[in-house]
Amino acid sequence: MFRKSLNSIALLFRYAPGLTILKLLQTGVSAALAPLSIYFTQRMIDTAAGIIKDGGGWNGLALWVGLLLCAMLFSSAGGGFLNGILYIAIRRRLNIGMTPDIVGKFKRLDYACFEDKDVQDTLERMSRDPQDKVFQLFLTILGVMECMIGVAGGALIYAQAGWWFVAGFAALLVPMIWLDFKAADMMNTMFNEQSADERKMRYLGGLLSHKSSLFELRIFRAGEYVAKKWRALAHTVMDTRVKTTLHAQKYFLISTILFKCWSFFIVISLIASVVSGDITIGLFTALIASTGAVLGNADMLSHTVQNLRRRYLLMEHYHKFMSLPEIRHGGESLTGEPPHIVFENVTFAYPKTDVNVLKGVSFEVRRGKRVALVGENGAGKTTVIKLLCGLYKPDGGHILINGKDIQALDAAALRRVFSVVFQDFCKYELTLRENVAFGDLSKLHDDGALQDALEMGLARGIAELDTPLGKLEENGVDVSGGQWQRIAVARACLPGSAFVILDEPTASLDPVAESSMYHSFAKVLKNRGCIMVSHRLASARMADKIVVLSGGIVSETGGHDELMSSGGLYARMYESQSAWYAKGGAGA
């Protein structure tokens, strides 16, 4: 733990080397001045007593008084003003230097990390001021160093009265720190085990405070049910914390009793020694002062080590985060030739599962064609899209673009091939301009291109380009779910990608708007391909090719008329939905 915790100092040296050295020096000198001040006081008292008893010059007394005043002045300046300046300056350097590195790591993370439940705690913790956690661990290490210097300085003062004082104190200090560490470890273990329950509590609390969920809960009169679940979970969490805290306090109590007994023994021993003349008045005063200082430092050291343990565990999330796999950079590029996509016996199972979602899928998408992926829920349609976009790697088989394996291509080449609208597209509460331009930020200020993209997505007229969407801004415009969907489609249309992938593009649109949008795409995408995933098979009629997935394999391929005449799965699915459209989309 101590060895790995020192990595925080290495991080500080990376981002603020000069300031870190100054902080280490300031802490070391300030810590050493405490026992030195006691020693200077001892020598000042003994020198004054010698002058009173035997006479002599005042030079020696002036020296010790001067040293004591200098130590007090430096402690005041170094512990106050200088410490505050260094604190602010180092935090500023960390924010400037470390935050971009953390954000960059998030951008480079392999997509699989975001769907791994075991990584969620790490990702959640790293999104909450990681630079502050590094700085707090650094300060805790400095606290340990300061306490150790204080304890060592006090031990040297004790050594003047006899090394048995030092040996006895060391024998007490070890079990005392162990007891406090044991108690802290119990608390840290409890907090880690409750991470999942805390996430559930935050989720349930969010349901009771977020506008969309709260509206629905009130309509269905289910708010009290959710609140009851939150209270039950909160009761379980707090009950566990109370029991664990009471158990841990037993260790703290034993440690405190050991401290008090040692303090009483030291005071009695010192009184006996000064009465018998074994130690001077100055040394007696220094030892009494050192007793309080040493015991305080030892107690503080014990608590600081506990704090170090807790902060170290938080920093483990940082190191785990920084070691997470990243997306591949570099690789081959594609020529300007229109892409030809081939799925070749592809198999795939999601990480940490042993169920194959795809069991040998093979099909091809020719240049500039419109292809529909259809199938029942769980057939693997969205999985195919994720593999196409390089978010996951296939377990077997190959995905080829113009004869090159997709794994050998660089990320930029893939972006030129595909732009995507996923089912769970993001609603950015920013301006309409930014919402669309995220598809290609090089066109952020190209009003013509943005308006063309909005036209393609049937989103023109929703708002002016520089109008904020949502309620984050005071003058924001609240748009409907269907309008958000159209904006997402416009975002996918903005880049000049060879294929636009639409994963359930009409989920929030009525049948009339659905038909209008597909006819719009038919006109716009004359020279571009389109891959559509939809549970509404009316959209498949406009595709040049339909790929039917079932049970992790391709069960049928062909055009609408061909598949209808074959009477297979597609025909049965289409016929079961035909009543929706006969009734004007009532079931859509």
The residue among 306, 331, 19, 317 whose CA lies nearest residue 176 is 306
- Residue 373: pLDDT band with limits 50, 70, 90: very high
Q: Say if residue 275 is exposed, middle or buried (CB neighbours under 10 Å; 0-12, 13-18, 19+).
A: exposed
Task: Write out pLDDT tens, residues 224-261.
Answer: 888 899 999 999 989 988 888 888 888 878 877 877 77
The SS3 call for residue 330 is coil
Which contacts of 323-326 are long-range, i.e. CB under 8 A and separated by 24 or more positions?
Answer: 324/105, 324/109, 324/110, 324/113, 324/119, 324/122, 325/109, 325/110, 325/112, 325/113, 326/105, 326/108, 326/109, 326/110
Is the predicted pLDDT of residue 76 greater than 80, yes or no? no
Is the predicted pLDDT of residue 151 greater than 70, yes or no? yes
The residue among 136, 143, 138 whose CA lies nearest residue 30 is 143
Q: How many residues does the chain have?
A: 588
Q: Are 416 and 498 in contact (CB under 8 A)?
A: yes
Task: Write out pLDDT tens, residues 187-228.
Answer: 777 877 787 788 788 888 888 887 778 777 877 778 888 889
The SS3 call for residue 457 is coil
C-alpha span between 399 and 397 (Å, rounded) = 7
Q: Are 373 and 384 in contact (CB under 8 A)?
A: yes
- Residue 514: pLDDT band with limits 50, 70, 90: low
C-alpha span between 35 and 294 (Å, rounded) = 9
| Dihedral in degrees, nearest 10, Cα atoms 482, 207, 132, 308 | -150
Q: What is the pLDDT of residue 518?
A: 65
Is the predicted pLDDT of residue 533 greater than 50, yes or no? yes
Task: Write out pLDDT tens, residues 265-279.
Answer: 777 877 777 777 777
- Residue 330: pLDDT band with limits 50, 70, 90: low
Q: What is the pLDDT of residue 510?
A: 60
- Residue 587: pLDDT band with limits 50, 70, 90: very low
Is the predicted pLDDT of residue 377 greater than 90, yes or no? no
Is the predicted pLDDT of residue 343 greater than 90, yes or no? yes
Q: What is the pLDDT of residue 457?
A: 78
Q: What is the pLDDT of residue 588?
A: 36
- Coarse DSSP helix, strand, coil percentages of the chain, rounded to the nearest 5 percent: 65, 10, 25
- Residue 584: pLDDT band with limits 50, 70, 90: very low
In the chain, the percentage of residues whose pLDDT exceeds 70 is 91
First to last CA, the chain: 58
Is the predicted pLDDT of residue 586 greater than 50, yes or no? no
Average confidence (pLDDT) over 371-376: 89
Average confidence (pLDDT) over 575-585: 62
Q: What is the pLDDT of residue 127?
A: 61
Task: Write out pLDDT tens, residues 155-166.
Answer: 888 787 777 777
Residue 435 CA to its chain's centroid (Å): 24
Six-digit token pair at 128?
């909450």
Per the model's pLDDT, the better-predicted residue between 125 and 113 turns out to be 113
CA distances from 229 to 192, 212, 217, 235, 242 (A): 21, 19, 14, 10, 20
- Residue 42: pLDDT band with limits 50, 70, 90: confident
Task: Write out pLDDT tens, residues 398-439.
Answer: 999 998 888 888 777 787 888 888 877 888 889 999 999 998
Is the predicted pLDDT of residue 348 greater than 90, yes or no? yes
Alpha helices in 432-584 (DSSP H): 432-437, 447-456, 481-493, 511-524, 560-566, 569-582
Is the predicted pLDDT of residue 328 greater than 80, yes or no? no
Per the model's pLDDT, the better-predicted residue between 86 and 128 turns out to be 86
